[in-house]
Amino acid sequence: MKKFAALLLLATALATPAMAREVKINVDLVNYSGRAAYLAVYLTKADGNFEKTLWLAGSKPRYLGDLRGWLMAASSAGTIQIDGVTGASVGGGQTLAISADLADSMIDAGYTIHVETAVEDQGRYPDDATLQVVSTGGSAAGTGYVKTLTVSL
């Protein structure tokens, strides 16, 4: 099977759902030593299928290829869309704080936030931390570089 290069499409202006809520997502990293981590924060539907990318920490596209879990999920949805959702990589002991607008229909509906992490010359953790989106928010412990994933609405 031939390997395809992903196309990075320009952002398509999507119609904003009538009802949306701002969701605050905090990812605290453990205090590891080594270079800053690349992170992918993305959302999947109740059936496990990819919904959208919420944030990519790490600006050089070629290293984003190390975030294989996100890459697999996102590519299964057809095109990979990363414009406007990228920022700097995150060092050990630091916190990535982002906010995303989620439609009301995604809350308490089985949608899951995934955090994937990768550090150069060290570990790569596809589902470092996951948490379902519920109206009361919540937090989950990570398994790798993520100490805690906290979601508040």
Partner 1 sequence: MSRRFHALAGLAFGLFVTFMALTGAVLSVQPALETLAAHSPLGGETVAALADKVTAALPGVDRIVRSASGQVVAYYLADGKHQAAIVDPASGAVVGPYQPSAFFSFFTELHRSLFFGDAGRAVAGVAALVMLALAVSGMLLLIRRLGGIRQLFARGRGTFPQRFHADLARFAVVVLALTALSGGYMSARTFGFVPDGQSDIFALPVSGSGGAAAPVATLSGLRAAHVADLRELDLPAADDTAGVFTLKTHQGENAIDPATGAVLSTTPVRGWAAVYEMVYMLHTGQGLWWLGLILGLGALSVPVLAVTGLWIYAVRQGQRPRFGANVSATGADLVVLVGSEGQTTWGFATAFAEAATAAGRKVHLGAMTDVRRSYPRAGLMVVMTATYGDGDAPASASRFLDRLRKWGKAPVAAVAILGFGDRSFPQYCAYADQVADRLSALGATPAVPYFTIDRQSPQRFADWGRTLAPALGVPLALVHTPKHPKTQTLELVERLDYGVDVQAPTSILSFKAAAGSLKGFEVGDLIGILPPGHGAPRYYSLASRAADGVVEIAVRKQAGGLCSVYLTALKPGDRIEGFFRPNTDFRPQPSSKPLILIGAGTGIAPLAGLVRHNRRKRPMHVFFGGRDPQSDFLYRSDFDAAYQSGRLASLTTAFSRVGKGGYVQDRVSASADSLRAMIEDGASIVVCGGLDMAKGVREALEAVIVPLGIDLDSLKRSGRYLEDAY
Nearest approach in angstroms of CB 44 to partner 1 is: 14
Among 59, 37, 44, which Cα is nearest to 113's?
44
Rg of the Cα trace of the chain? 15
Residues touching partner 1, count (CB under 8 A):
31
Q: Is 10 in the site for partner 1 (CB under 8 A)?
A: no
Kindly tell me which residue out of 17, 34, 87, 93 binds partner 1, with binding defined by CB under 8 A: 34
Q: Is 24 in the site for partner 1 (CB under 8 A)?
A: no
Nearest approach in angstroms of CB 122 to partner 1 is: 6
Encoded amino acid at 11, one letter:
A
- Number of other residues whose CB lies within 10 A of the CB of residue 62: 6
Task: With H, G, I as helix, E, B as strand and everything else as coil, classify residue 68.
Answer: helix
* Distance, CA of 40 to CA of 125 (rounded, Å): 10
* Distance, CA of 73 to CA of 90 (rounded, Å): 22
In eight-state DSSP terms, residue 121 is T
Segment 53-92, which members bind partner 1 (CB under 8 A)?
Answer: 61-62, 64-65, 68, 71-72, 75
Kindly tell me which residue out of 28, 40, 125, 151 binds partner 1, with binding defined by CB under 8 A: 125
Nearest approach in angstroms of CB 102 to partner 1 is: 26
Among 17, 33, 11, which Cα is nearest to 107's?
17
| Closer by beta carbon to partner 1, 21 or else 68 | 68
Q: What is the contact surface with partner 1 in residues (CB under 8 A)?
A: 1-8, 32-35, 61-62, 64-65, 68, 71-72, 75, 121-126, 128, 141, 143-145
